[in-house]
Amino acid sequence: INDCYTLNNGIKIPCIGFGTYKAAEGNNIQILKTAIEAGYRYFDTASFYGTEDYLGEAVRQSGLPREEFFLVSKMWKEEMGYDRTKKAFEETLQRLQTDYLDMYLIHWPRPEASCSEWKQLDLDTWRAMEELCQEGRIKAIGLSNFLPQHLENILAHCKIKPAAVQLELHPGYMQEAGVRYCEEKGILLQAWSPIGRQRVLNEPLLVELAQKYQVSPAQICLRFLVQRGIVPLPKSSSMERMKQNMEVFGFDISTEDMYRIATMPQAGWSGEHPDPEVAQKINKRKIGE
């Protein structure tokens, strides 16, 4: 769990994080305190989740130094734009009871806007994030749910290259085009819903591999992502499953089995076959690199 990747700007990021979406249900901070107790230090939140203040309080109550944590947040759609982003960032810091973020992401692209509108909005937002980064108030900046066409716009005009992109990724939903694009550009991928909100846990292949490797289907999902060099952000409300989800560094899925998972039928399959060379691409990024 203390293993890290190095982002393209030299900043270290833990290899697994805890997703906090819906962690505020029940209106308490217990889930977040439990996750810290279970050993998580990298937390993924967003202004939209309503979990920033609980997370800030859980971190404070842990008594651990702020530098031990890797805190990621995101501005919501209405918070985009140059001035709004700066304001949203200050509000996020206040709720988190901190004076810096480890990473800040644009939460979603704006497909409802016209092409020139969303392109300009993304760039204005990015410029504000770059300035906050240059001021040392954010260690790294990135994007969430951005597909190659959105990323191209940022990459064509940015001063600071995105360090990470967060996508929904799990076996059966690997968004090949987006993953490949980020890998080629040296952008780290983070996976939200890495166990597919439990929907893929009964897949015969994952059940078979879970038996073979003496782990759970959820651990197969998470280990598959880890071996692809993708940071999983699992969510759970139980201490037992929180711990289980971190225990994915003590076994290796064989190249052949990685290939079988990578070529599982894909949800929303568009007719494009998964990259036939995927087996050679796996295990490319080693922990620590």
Residues that bind ligand A2P (CB under 6 A): 19, 193-198, 201, 216, 218, 234-238, 241, 244-245
Torsion of CA 286, 143, 138, 114, to 10 degrees: 160
- Least separation in angstroms between residue 14's CB and ligand A2P is 17
Q: Three-state SS for 190?
A: strand
- Least separation in angstroms between residue 184's CB and ligand A2P is 26
Residue placing its CB nearer to ligand A2P in the complex, 151 or 205:
205
In contact, 161 and 188? CB cutoff 8 Å: no
Chain centroid to CA 94: 22
- Least separation in angstroms between residue 34's CB and ligand A2P is 11
Active-site residue flag, 49:
yes
Residue type (1 letter), 171: P
Residue placing its CB nearer to ligand A2P in the complex, 237 or 283:
237
Question: Within a 10 A sphere around the Cβ of 101, how many other Cβ atoms?
Answer: 23
Nearest to 280 by CA among 194, 183, 139, 162: 183
Sorted by sequence, the CB contacts under 8 Å of residue 175 that are 6+ apart come out as 167, 168, 169
Q: Three-state SS for 49?
A: helix
Residue placing its CB nearer to ligand A2P in the complex, 92 or 193:
193
Which residue, chain included where needed, has tokens 């929303």? Answer: 268
- Least separation in angstroms between residue 246's CB and ligand A2P is 10
Host H or E run for residue 83: helix 82-96
- Least separation in angstroms between residue 52's CB and ligand A2P is 19
Residue placing its CB nearer to ligand A2P in the complex, 115 or 239:
239
Q: In b/e form, how buried is each residue of 137-156, taking b as 16+ CB within 10 angstroms?
A: bbbbbbbbbbbbebbebbee
Active-site residue (options: 5, 49, 173, 181): 49
Q: Which residues pair with 166 in a beta bridge?
A: 144, 190
Residue placing its CB nearer to ligand A2P in the complex, 56 or 194:
194
Which residues are known to be catalytic?
49
